[in-house]
């Protein structure tokens, strides 16, 4: 599972460099960044629209979250296709196709009449994003000379790292100025500019005359496993965890996952080299990568929804709460990268796990009265943890991989981390929904004729309604409806708090593999 589209510059790149000269590398960087950033923005823009989507379609969080999860899951799966498609059709065609397909998905999302069509549009967008990102990274590596390659990759990485943090903010602006549907068309200007530049600057297909080999069996198995398991997690609550429908998805998902591992173990050209997991250091690093991918995307999803549904923030305010965290992350990553070469990697990883756990714990204590800047500060703390861990984690993971398998190792690391993001959003949304229902049932059971406080609330609300000119016949139903809203709001707060605490617990567990990496003996360089 190579992380890049192709290796050294081919004849197509050479022709473009000869045509445009030394400036070509920066022109193609601009085109690639515009394409990648527009899609990364789209990935997180939808987070601030979840409450609006729930209201528009009359669905719960378990269905609305698929607007985020479908994008991430499909993006993970389509990344595996990138190398084959670029080899078969060339970078120009794949880049243009991905942007055009993204535009089609964006348009469908903006006019979707129901949640099912909306999810389909997000699948289209996610598929496009999975093709674009590794293609652009590979091209940046190919066009820049070796002595400037690190700088170029850093510029690209800064762009795609900042975009997720600003996505909710721009999405909030679009919702407040227009409607939630406009978040789908908001990235379109960037996409169209990237498409126009890409038609001119992206390298045409090279000299290959035959299709490159591709492990189609492995791809079908892993894509099926991902979609079935994600569907089981996301829908099991509504279907019934042990219903025939749920068990079918679970059995098919688990079976195809096992078959995938078996076929990749036997294959001479595997999509994913599962033998890498025989090294316990690599396995431990993948566990941490999965946890941080899950934590990053889960909190990016949950925080904007929390501040809107519990605290009553506007979509713009909900997006703005994440922005300082993204800026801090950008500032911290270079520092963490330099430290990674000077101190044992397991120390910052353990500190990062503890820091993220603390941030999640603080979120679990947040409620309707928690100030805006307190939530923003907690988000900064969580992103600081990510910035501390990721450079060290990448170094550790690659250090456990033989030199001749570095490409496979990097691809596997990227796949696991982004898969963690998809699972993180799915499980967190499910947890919020289930825990809210659980607490609502408990609170409703306390509303008896012996509950003095509730009776006082009902009496007070009835008096206010009477003073407002409401007919006597409507006073009791109105007061009961108000009490019901109060109970749901309290239950929703508890649901979010429980889910944030679960994230805290998960990162406490992630300390175990981080500690293991510190205890593992350092192997000689290979």
- Per residue in 19-60, pLDDT (tens digit) is 777 778 888 888 888 888 888 888 888 888 999 999 899 888
Q: What is the DSSP letter of 311?
A: T
226-248 pLDDT, tens digit per residue, is 999 999 998 888 888 999 999 99
Of how many residues is the chain composed?
Answer: 526
pLDDT classification of 7: cutoffs 50, 70, 90 = very low
396-431 pLDDT, tens digit per residue, is 887 788 877 776 777 788 888 889 988 998 999 889
Domain regions of the chain by residue span: 1-210, 216-268, 272-434+494-526, 439-493
CATH fold group of domain 1-210 = Growth Hormone; Chain: A; (1.20.1250)
Average pLDDT over residues 382-389: 84
Listed in sequence order, the residues at least 6 apart from 370 whose beta carbon sits closer than 8 Å to its beta carbon are 311
Distance, CA of 72 to CA of 123 (rounded, Å): 8
Average pLDDT, the chain: 83
Residue 15, pLDDT > 70, answer yes
Distance, CA of 142 to CA of 154 (rounded, Å): 14
452-478 pLDDT, tens digit per residue, is 676 676 676 667 666 677 776 666 776
Q: What angle do CA 309, 312, 313 make, to 5 degrees?
A: 105
Buried b (16+ CB within 10 A) or exposed e, 219-250: bebbbbbbbbbbbbbbbbbebeeeeeebeebb
CATH fold group of domain 272-434+494-526 = Growth Hormone; Chain: A; (1.20.1250)
Listed in sequence order, the residues at least 6 apart from 470 whose beta carbon sits closer than 8 Å to its beta carbon are 478
- For residue 248, the model assigns a pLDDT of 95
Same topology, domains 1-210 and 272-434+494-526? Answer is: yes
């Amino acid at each position: 599972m190579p992380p890049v589209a192709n290796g050294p510059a081919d004849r197509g790149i050479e022709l473009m460099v000869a045509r445009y000269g030394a400036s070509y590398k920066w022109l193609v960087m601009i085109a690639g960044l515009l394409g990648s950033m527009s899609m990364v923005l789209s990935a997180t823009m939808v987070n601030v629209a979840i409450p609006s989507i729930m209201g528009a379609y009359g669905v719960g969080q378990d269905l609305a979250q698929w607007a985020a999860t479908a994008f991430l899951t499909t993006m993970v799966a389509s990344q595996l296709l990138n190398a084959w498609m670029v080899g078969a059709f060339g970078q120009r065609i794949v880049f243009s196709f991905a942007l055009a397909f993204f535009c089609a998905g964006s348009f469908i999302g903006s006019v979707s009449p129901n949640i099912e069509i909306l999810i389909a549009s997000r699948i289209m967008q996610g598929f496009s994003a999975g093709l674009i990102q590794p293609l652009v990274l590979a091209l940046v590596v190919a066009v820049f000379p070796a002595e400037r390659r690190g700088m170029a990759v850093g510029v690209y990485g800064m762009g795609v790292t900042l975009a997720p943090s600003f996505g909710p903010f721009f999405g909030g602006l679009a919702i407040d100025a227009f409607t939630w549907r406009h978040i789908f068309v908001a990235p379109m200007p960037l996409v169209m500019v990237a498409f126009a530049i890409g038609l001119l600057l992206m390298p045409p297909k090279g000299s290959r005359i035959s299709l490159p080999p591709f492990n189609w069996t492995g791809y079908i198995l892993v894509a099926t496993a991902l979609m079935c398991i994600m569907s089981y997690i996301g829908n099991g609550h509504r279907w019934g965890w042990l219903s025939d429908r749920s068990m079918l998805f679970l059995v098919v998902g688990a079976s195809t996952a096992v078959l995938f591992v078996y076929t990749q173990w036997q294959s001479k050209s595997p999509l994913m080299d599962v033998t890498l997991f025989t090294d316990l250091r690599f396995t431990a690093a993948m566990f941490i990568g999965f946890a941080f991918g899950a934590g990053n995307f889960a909190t990016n999803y949950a925080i904007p929804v929390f501040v809107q549904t519990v605290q009553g923030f506007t979509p713009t305010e909900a997006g703005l709460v994440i922005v300082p965290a993204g800026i801090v992350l950008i500032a911290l990553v270079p520092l963490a990268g330099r430290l990674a070469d000077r101190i044992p990697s397991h120390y910052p990883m353990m500190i990062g796990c503890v820091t993220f756990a603390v941030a999640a714990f603080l979120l679990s204590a947040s409620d309707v009265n928690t100030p805006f800047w307190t939530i923003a500060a907690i988000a900064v703390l969580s992103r600081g943890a990510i910035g501390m861990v990721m450079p060290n984690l990448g170094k550790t993971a690659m250090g456990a991989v033989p030199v001749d398998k570095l490409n496979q190792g990097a691809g596997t690391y990227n796949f696991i981390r982004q898969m963690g993001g998809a699972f993180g959003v799915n499980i967190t949304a499910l947890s919020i929904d289930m825990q809210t229902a659980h607490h609502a049932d408990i609170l409703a059971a306390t509303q008896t004729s012996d509950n003095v406080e509730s009776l006082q609330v009902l009496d007070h609300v009835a008096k206010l309604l009477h003073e407002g000119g409401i007919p006597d016949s409507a006073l009791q139903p109105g007061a009961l409806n108000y009490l019901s809203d109060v109970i749901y709001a309290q239950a929703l707060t508890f649901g979010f708090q429980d889910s944030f605490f679960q994230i805290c617990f998960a990162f406490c567990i992630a300390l175990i593999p981080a500690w293991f990496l510190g205890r593992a003996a350092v192997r000689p360089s290979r």
